[in-house]
Amino acid sequence: MPILRVELYGRSLGGVMSINIHDFVSEHFNSKDYSHLNWEGSYQDYIDLVLSNPMIIRNSFQRVHDLIIAGGTSEYTEYKKEITRYHFFDDLVENGKDAIFGIDVHLMKLVNFFKSAAAGYGTEKRVLLLHGPVGSAKSSISRLLKKGLEHYSKTDDGALYTYEWFDEEESEILGGARVFPCPMHEEPLKLLPLDVRAKLLEEINSKSDFHKFKIKGEVNPACRFIFDQYMKKYNGDWSKVMNHIRIKRLILSEKDRVGIGTFQPKDEKNQDSTELTGDINYRKIAKYGSDSDPRAFNFDGEFNIANRGIIEFIEMLKLDVAFLYDLLGASQEQSIKPKKFAQTDIDEVILGHTNEPEFKKLQSNEFMEALRDRTVKIDVPYITRLDQEIRIYQKDFNADTLSIHIAPHTLEMASTWSILTRLEEPKKSDLTSMQKLKLYNGKTLPGYTEDNVKELRKEARREGLEGISPRYIQDKISNALVKNSHLGCLNPFMVFNELESGLKNHSLINSPEKLEEYKDLLSVCRSEYEDIVKNDVMKAISVDESAIQTLCANYIDNVKAYTQKEKIRNKYSNKLEDADERFMRSIEGKIDIPESRKDDFRREIMNYIGALAIEGKQFDYQTNERLHRALELKLFEDQKDTIKLTTLISNVVDKQTQEKIDVVKSRLVKNFGYCDICATDALNYVASIFAKGDTVAKRG
């Protein structure tokens, strides 16, 4: 036999390369893994496996719960609440392709649903409905669960088994065949007589500290028919019947339609409920003589093939009413009704997802009361925390995937705008939407503790359920990249322009008022970016973090002495002196704290530091947005270089000034992630602002 060779041509390879394909495949494909995943054995072999590892008989809810837990967890505290991050949702199978960010609280509710169902507390009899706006990761969660189950079933921890009938010769009982696979790949213990099964499970459960195992119901109609025929043949000798059973390892696969089903609504005229529960195979009626012979029935509906795993209903509430009725029995009774056959038991997670308008229709439809009662709704809102929203876009737009540089704060500004559209207007008159966004992102403001932020979250009724979706942001960033790729760098203003130009054609903006609101929020973001880029340039010119820390410590010492009416020791003269009022006002003036408000501001700072101390935390000026800004501006004023920013936009720049400009540019590149192009743009932009007579930026 000739050796098959593959020739690869390529410039980087410098010519032709030959590969022996047989050796190449042998090196990268392990036949032992194939044998392990395609294990076969007798019924007794399976019983031995069960007794040595009862976890292989878990039901679908227990398996999904264990799959999530197997990914590992980590704990963190947010607004004094302990939150668990389940790393399964980082998409461990495909290295973060479908990773879910920023909704850990809601994912905890999802995991609690499976935890309750795994323990048999009742939620296993419910339809799990993911509800949220478009683009809020409902489909991503569904994909994660489905591909997670696929991968888990290939591991030893997630192993499960099914059976097939076989005969040494072509058997009339098997329809003239030698092999008849279980059409619903059921649990082999279902073949045990009910009283024997109950005693075996009692024995297994007495030694299990983790799950309590239940095997409900009987085998499907086709296997029941074959079982009865063999029992007649052997005069009720169950052991002889089991000689016709072969146990097989079951690998779940959506593409092979094994254990994972997906149903998507179609045009009402083309919908047929047999897509869910199977249909008669008319070609086999002549062979078996009756359409009520279960061997002439295709148990290949989505409910059938999803047995032992999960079935996903895409846009579930768009289903025809007849389909929704099928869900009632499938959820509560955990059984389905194939045409012309008795109720057939199933073991599967029923997962649907829907958007807001469809869910409102369900709520208002009095005929769907039974379905509402059998549904557990899990909200999947948009992200409202800035650092988590940024991660969505960093996943797609980064140095590894792009040939064009993305200027600092570009993704941050796009994320800021998207979150502002999702936030409800603060009820407090002294709080802006931008400040609320920063509070949600972990920043602090005088007068706002973690308890205050927690209250802000609670009083918002629909936050995260409306606004701009991540898809719109991704599309507009992509457009901006294409339009500006020749420039070598993408900056926030390019993205702002693209975001605004697309609004008038946005299909989900259905009122002029909403359009104007979103445009106004873009103006807020532009103003915010203006402050940020000024701040970057100022830092590049003169700011030293260690100097800020020293300045902050000095300010806090003076504020403490002032509020507690104490003296402060002069580090130079070593004498006790009054707090330096001029020094404190030079900082507070940078953020427009008036003379009449200085005492309140200073007390707020000290109260906040005291509250942190009670919780065992240390004050960090970087988390206090306004104070941080004031310290930076004070230091900039004290230490600013002899460089004149306004000279940047003049046509004549002397050599000495140019050298200083180059130093600032290099700092922007080295310390702040700018490239030469966007560093030049940033300097020119800030210089143009100063040239208009705009002095120091105000943030807050």
User: Is the pLDDT reported for residue 649 higher than 60?
Assistant: no
pLDDT of residue 5: 46
Radius of gyration of the chain (CA): 33
Which position has the higher pLDDT, 461 or 101? 101
Lowest mean pLDDT among 258-272, 555-569, 665-679: 258-272
CA 51 vs. chain centroid, Å, equals: 37
User: Is the pLDDT reported for residue 566 higher than 50?
Assistant: yes
CB 587 within 8 A of CB 636: no
CA distance 651 to 653: 7
User: Is the pLDDT reported for residue 452 higher than 80?
Assistant: yes
Task: Give, for 548, the enclosing helix (H) or strand (E).
Answer: helix 545-563
Which of 468-477, 578-587, 638-647 tops mean pLDDT? Answer: 468-477
The one-letter amino acid code at 139 reads S
CB 504 within 8 A of CB 597: no
pLDDT of residue 13: 45
Instruction: Pull the structure tokens for residue 325.
Output: 């009725």
User: Is the pLDDT reported for residue 136 higher than 80?
Assistant: yes
pLDDT of residue 535: 84
667: Cβ–Cβ under 8 A, 6 or more apart, which residues?
Answer: 540
User: Is the pLDDT reported for residue 241 higher than 80?
Assistant: yes
Q: How many CB atoms lie within 10 A of CB 105?
A: 14
pLDDT band at 693 (very low <50, low <70, confident <90, very high): low
User: Is the pLDDT reported for residue 616 higher than 90?
Assistant: no
Q: What angle do CA 547, 439, 87 make, to 5 degrees?
A: 100
The whole model's pTM is what? 0.82
Stretch 353-375: mean pLDDT: 81
Stretch 351-374: mean pLDDT: 82
Q: Which candidate, 269, 280, 389, 252, places its Cα nearest to that of 320?
A: 269
Q: Which candidate, 445, 442, 420, 416, places its Cα nearest to that of 625?
A: 445
Residues paired with 311 in a beta bridge: 261, 350
pLDDT of residue 255: 95
Alpha carbon distances (Å) from 445 to 124, 515, 548, 590, 621: 45, 30, 18, 16, 11
Lowest mean pLDDT among 525-534, 548-557, 564-573: 564-573
The one-letter amino acid code at 350 reads I
CA distance 88 to 73: 8
CA distance 540 to 550: 18
Residue written as token pair 């980087």: 12
CB 472 within 8 A of CB 506: yes
CA distance 311 to 254: 10
pLDDT of residue 423: 95
Burial letters for 437-450: b for 16+ Cβ neighbours within 10 Å, e otherwise? bbbbbebbbbebbb
Residue-wise pLDDT tens digits, 160-201: 999 999 999 888 899 889 999 999 999 999 999 999 999 999
Pairing mode, strands 489-490 and 405-406: parallel
